[in-house]
Structure 1
Amino acid sequence: MLPLERQKKILDLLTVKKVLKITELTEELGISVDTLRRDINLLASAGKIEKIYGGIKLADRFGESSMDERMVNHLEEKERIARKCSEWIQDGDCIYIDSGSTTYQIAKYIKDKKNLTVITCSVPVIQELMDTDAELIIIGGKIRKEEQSVVAFDYIFNFHELNVRKAFICCSGITVERGISDYNLEEAVTRKKMIELSKEVIVAADSTKFGKDVTVAIAPLERIDTIVTDAHVDRSFLTKFKKTGTNLVIAD
């Protein structure tokens, strides 16, 4: 494995398990302590990791940005994406709204829908729709405080009885070759299950997510009906998506 490949592997492992011991890394990578220390020194000097006693952790500002940051970053684009997504939602629908700064915006545009059932793992979505007529169902499980979301584990499997017509999913990475991906394993498990249960899957993602394949694979493109993004997406993706079965929609 080349040094750059090893270093990427180290970062990928840290996005799943926030702290890693030196012994864990040497076993996982099959390299000597001296080789590992050279990789660690390079990553630390680049500000991507921090050394701690007996191991390493991600630098505070590396990897997935916080929910509070994402709520304000590219806000105009996310609002346009959410407004376009809301056009898929009809009175009487049973829908799933994912946790995420873009999917959260969808809740703002569906408050006047009639007989709507909204399933979600997002605390902000629940708060946004609390005073509306929508029937709200939140997935039970562990609270992930930094994402303001619930990660479901076994609780989600009781949702087979629900007729989920449309799932609005967010992600951290999109490529034609690998589909959609995310940084957190627990969030990815929930998304995979809701994609499996839903009749139609719509991914809401701003243009910065394209061309990235991050830690945890969620689903290949053949499982995604539509991706809604903003007008800043690299135009080369428009050509690439024409060769797939996934509809790429630009929110204007």
Structure 2
Amino acid sequence: MFPLERQNKMLELLKLKKVLKMTELKEELNISMDTLRRDIQSLVKQEKVEKIYGGIKLKESHFGESSMEERMVSNLQEKQSIAYTCSKFIQDGDCVFLDSGSTTYQIAKFLQNKKKLTVITNSFPVALELLNSDIELIIIGGKVRKEERSIVSYEYLFNFSQLNIQKAFICASGITLEKGISDYNVEEAITRKKMIELSSEIYVAADSTKFGKDVTVGIAPLSEIDHIVTDQNVDKTFTRAFEQINTNLIISPICN
């Protein structure tokens, strides 16, 4: 198979699966890893694909929210380091909210050894991760948002004002000093607004690519956010700017 044929085959596969791992491509195309890397580099130069942790995805040709499948593997090392840092703020006996999102899903992986912990979530991946642990698990009842693997419209089945949530870990698609945190989906934003209102301490878990973006729906100004936990790639202009406001910017160390 000629290089152009292989590269077109990769693009066809990506249109079906959105994200492909290097090992999958190597097996599917029956080529060496060196040949695969050369083909991928060619597609990257043509701006047809983007490299992600352990694989590739189609380059986004429009602005909008990427799929949960894509976010689960993109910037994975950064998200793991953020999650590890967030887990250090969760103590035995806490009642915490873990938002739907690829970074908060990583937080769940670091909670298995916590004692007498209650986790409230609207995320199916978080719930499944904690299902066989000793953690008390509460799922928000409401409408299922299938593409996000989450539950929204909390008011359908449960009065959450009765809960004493010490810490909420919220995701965001955009963070700016002027507008605060934002997201693409109205229902997700409404759920996050409610959890911010009910929780004593608010953490936003977001990798550095979210900074400087103000997307579709505003969630909360920074004055309502206690801490933002991000990775070491955040631009220094933001770290300096956060020194002038009350929201605490926490830079997570690299997680080995």
TM-score range, shorter chain: 0.7 to 0.9
Structure 2: how far apart are the matches of 1:103 and 1:144?
17
> Residues 199 and 156 from structure 1, CA distance in 2 versus in 1: closer, same or farther, beyond 3 angstroms?
farther
Which runs of at least 4 in structure 1 moved beyond 4 Å after TM superposition?
59-62
1:100, CA displacement in angstroms?
A: 0.3
Identity of aligned residues (%): 66
What secondary structure, in the 3-state scheme, does the structure 2 residue paired with 1:189 have? helix
The answer to whether structure 1 residue 210 and structure 2 residue 214 are counterparts is no
| Residue aligning to 2:142 | 141
* Deviation string, structure 1 residues 54-100 (Cα, Å, up to 9, x no partner): xxxxx996410000000000000000000000000000000000000
SS of 1:119's equivalent in the other structure is strand
Query: TM (normalized to structure 2)?
Result: 0.74
1:188-218 deviation per Cα after TM superposition (whole angstroms, max 9, x unaligned): 0000000000000000000000000000000
State how many pairs are aligned.
194
Q: Alpha-carbon deviation of 1:155?
A: 3.0
Residue equivalent to 1:21 = none
SS in 1 for 2:65: coil
Corresponding residue for residue 172 of structure 1: 173
The DSSP-based 3-state class of the residue aligned with 1:165 is strand
Could you say which residue in structure 2 is the equivalent of 1:20?
none
The two structures, once aligned, show a CA RMSD in angstroms of 1.4
Q: Distance in 1 between matches of 2:128 and 2:154?
A: 23
Q: Give the unaligned 5+ runs of structure 1.
A: 1-58
The corresponding residue for 2:79 is: 78
The alignment's TM-score, normalised by the length of structure 1, stands at: 0.75
SS at match of 1:222: helix
CA deviations on 1:82-126 (whole Å, 9 max, x unpaired) are: 000000000000000000000110000011100000000000000
1:172-197 CA-to-partner distances (Å, cap 9, x unmatched) read 00001110000000000000000000
Q: Deviations over 1:8-67 (max 9, x none)?
A: xxxxxxxxxxxxxxxxxxxxxxxxxxxxxxxxxxxxxxxxxxxxxxxxxxx996410000
Name the counterpart of 1:30.
Answer: none
Q: Retained in 1: the 8 A contact 2:92–2:115? A: yes
Aligned to 1:121: 122
Report the AA paired with residue 215 of structure 1. Answer: T
Partner of 1:190 in structure 2? 191
Amino acid at match of 1:203: V
